[in-house]
Amino acid sequence: MVNKQIKLFNVFMPETTIAALNQTLYSGFVAEGPKVREFTQMVSDYLQNPRTMMVNNCTMALQIACHLSDVHPGDEVITTPLTSICTNVPIRHLKGKPVWADVDPTTGMSDINDVEKLINKRTKAIMLLHKDGDIVDLDKYVDLAKSYGVRLIEDCAHTYGAKYNDKMIGNHGDICCFSFQAIKHLTTGDGGCMTFQDEELYERGKKLKWLGVDRDKRDGNPWLSDITELGYKANMNDIAATIGVEAQKVIEPIIEKYHHNGELFTKTLKDLNIPGVTLIRRDPKAYSVYWTYVIMSEKRDGLCAYLEENGVFAEQNHPRNDVWTIFKDSRRELPGVDFFAARELSLPCGWWVDDEDIYRICDLIKNYQKKYN
């Protein structure tokens, strides 16, 4: 008999959302307006970065980040194939070339030594993914990008609320891109935001997100003035922002729950010391928010099926991008990716998972590995 089913992902939506949405829907203003401004200020305060800008999704945030990094046809962006396709499609849309960095097989994130070898005169940016709520060694990457004069773009889709060296993620690289898609730590239904370290880049970004016009500085009819740079229709609307405002009001205990669950997984699995299961390496300088809890299993596919049979949904969250036809001219040998992609397994770790669920998942892993080792 299957026990309680434990989802890999779940949508977090406070009960206050319906009343707040009703008020917005009948306010006469559902486009970008007062709710977007309110949400922007809340997120800016939370991330401790005054240069925060809302967009309609994280993919568009990454596209704007590549645009701001002056990626043109033939230019290169060093990135990882172990991510959502959303990370790498923006590079292609600007006719740039994704250059795959191999990953550290102990973390699944870009290997800085390989990244440095790939930098050349065509490199415009390093696209740095923080994977599944864990954080890359940011100090080294910030120094590397500065030393070579390339832009550091952080894909923070999995790491809202995370910290590195006690500083909120969103305050290290040149441009940081967050996701508020349905199953993220905080959702607006779909949406995202960007943070910047440089004021000039931030001001340019605000124009790019709305067809070349800075909505905050428009005076009268903006279309009567000259538009000097081709922009996007990438703004968030007040309906999405209303959902975000209500979620942001109660986000801290939600983030703490993800972190607690991840730490409990680590302690429990270390104590069990299960043959065939390896824990990934996590940076002690980071406060991880464990969007999923990633382990390495020598019998990943079988273990995944066994967990599902017992009501636990788990999977390799983002299969490698480099095998797809749209990226065929970027293929290269990636032994770290080969190793990690064959073993990576994401376990449920969110706010809907309680301590007893975690003990049960760990026992199931132990039972499976004992039976088939």
- Please count the structural domains in the chain: 2
Last residue of a domain, one of 183, 216, 249: 249
- Residue 50 maps to a domain: yes
How far is Cα 5 from Cα 313, in angstroms, rounded to an integer?
8
- The answer on pLDDT for 1 being more than 90 is no
- 167 near 49, Cβ under 8 Å? no
How far is Cα 143 from Cα 200, in angstroms, rounded to an integer?
21
pLDDT at 355: 98
CATH number of the structural domain spanning residue 357: 3.90.1150.10
- The answer on pLDDT for 20 being more than 50 is yes
Asked if residue 340 and residue 267 are part of one domain, the reply reads yes
- Residue 61 maps to a domain: yes
pLDDT 10s digits, 41-82: 999 999 999 999 999 999 999 999 999 999 999 999 999 999
Asked if residue 256 and residue 233 are part of one domain, the reply reads no
Q: What is the mean pLDDT of the chain?
A: 96
Q: What percent of the chain has pLDDT over 90?
A: 94
Q: Where are the alpha helices (DSSP H) in 273-354?
A: 300-309, 335-341
Last residue of a domain, one of 249, 266, 292: 249
Asked if residue 308 and residue 238 are part of one domain, the reply reads no
- Residue 222 maps to a domain: yes
Q: How confident is the model at residue 218 (pLDDT cuts 50, 70, 90)?
A: confident
pTM (2 d.p.): 0.96
pLDDT 10s digits, 173-191: 999 999 999 999 999 999 9
Q: Domain limits at 154?
A: 17-249
Buried b (16+ CB within 10 A) or exposed e, 56-88: bbbbbbbbbbbbbbebeeebbbbbbbbbbebbb
Asked if residue 256 and residue 230 are part of one domain, the reply reads no
Q: In 3-state terms, the chain is what percent helix, strand and coil (to 5)?
A: 40, 15, 45
Q: What is the mean predicted confidence (pLDDT) over 123-148?
A: 97
Asked if residue 74 and residue 208 are part of one domain, the reply reads yes
pLDDT at 2: 55
Asked if residue 288 and residue 243 are part of one domain, the reply reads no
pLDDT at 4: 86
Phi then psi for 224, rounded to 5 degrees?
-90, -10
Q: What is the mean predicted confidence (pLDDT) over 139-160?
A: 98
pLDDT at 247: 98
Asked if residue 266 and residue 167 are part of one domain, the reply reads no
Asked if residue 176 and residue 275 are part of one domain, the reply reads no
Asked if residue 259 and residue 245 are part of one domain, the reply reads no
CATH number of the structural domain spanning residue 92: 3.40.640.10
Residue 286: strand pairing partners: 164
- The answer on pLDDT for 372 being more than 80 is no
- Residue 5 maps to a domain: no
pLDDT at 330: 96
